[in-house]
Amino acid sequence: MIRYLSRFLQNPYSVAMSVLWPLIRPILRTQFFHFGDSKITFPTRLIGAQYISIGDGTSIDYHCEIHAEPENPDPRRPVITIGNGCEINGFNRIGALHHVEIQDHVLLASNIYIGDTTHAYGDTGTPILKQGNVYRGPVVLETGCWIGDGVKILGGVTIGRNSIVGANSVVIDSIP
């Protein structure tokens, strides 16, 4: 009992989720486009789950935000696809209006931002917040890549198979 209490005090989210996961998982399966045999640790913010597909064996740690808000919703295809066997550590943000694909066995460290859009900036007399978003192209993280802590991956970028992106990088061009 003392060992269980000690684990709970060190990481209450993890311990609570291990107990509650069998109850939460069936509910999540009905919300997503596809939700395989994977695990999400809450608190994690999910927006547009019906446009998110997650494969088998993927783990999403606490305090992540996955935000799929398509400009042209199509219930037949996901906007964000996360493959099998991925490890997504805490405090990551993944957002898409069109397409973000994370293939199998991708490792994401913490504090990463991945998005296929950016804020529009065409009129200096209008606040940026009111200018909308600009789609920059799909983001694809190919199988086996490792993205270091604090990386920002912008639209129109493909990270090649088994590539490593070092901590605190801003990726604006594709990496083979």
Q: How confident is the model over 104-132, as pLDDT tens digits?
A: 999 999 999 999 999 998 899 999 999 98
Q: What is the pLDDT of residue 72?
A: 83
How far apart (Å, rounded) are the C-alpha atoms in residues 169 and 87? 19
Q: What is the mean pLDDT of the chain?
A: 90
Q: Is the pLDDT of residue 43 over 80?
A: yes
pLDDT-based confidence at 8, cuts 50/70/90? low
CB within 8 Å of 12: residues ≥ 6 apart: none
pLDDT one-digit tens code per residue, 67-76: 999 988 888 8
Buried residues in 55-64 as b, exposed as e (16+ CB within 10 A) = bebbebbbbb
How far apart (Å, rounded) are the C-alpha atoms in residues 154 and 77? 22
Q: What is the pLDDT of residue 4?
A: 53
Write the DSSP string, 57-110: T-EE-TT-EEEE--SS--TTS-SEEE-TT-EE-SS-EEEESS-EEE-TT-EE-S
pLDDT-based confidence at 42, cuts 50/70/90? confident
CB within 8 Å of 110: residues ≥ 6 apart: 89, 90, 91, 92, 149, 150
Q: Is the pLDDT of residue 29 over 90?
A: no
Q: What is the pLDDT of residue 41?
A: 86
Strand duo 152-153 + 170-171: pairing:
parallel
pLDDT-based confidence at 145, cuts 50/70/90? very high
Q: What is the value of pTM for the model shown?
A: 0.87
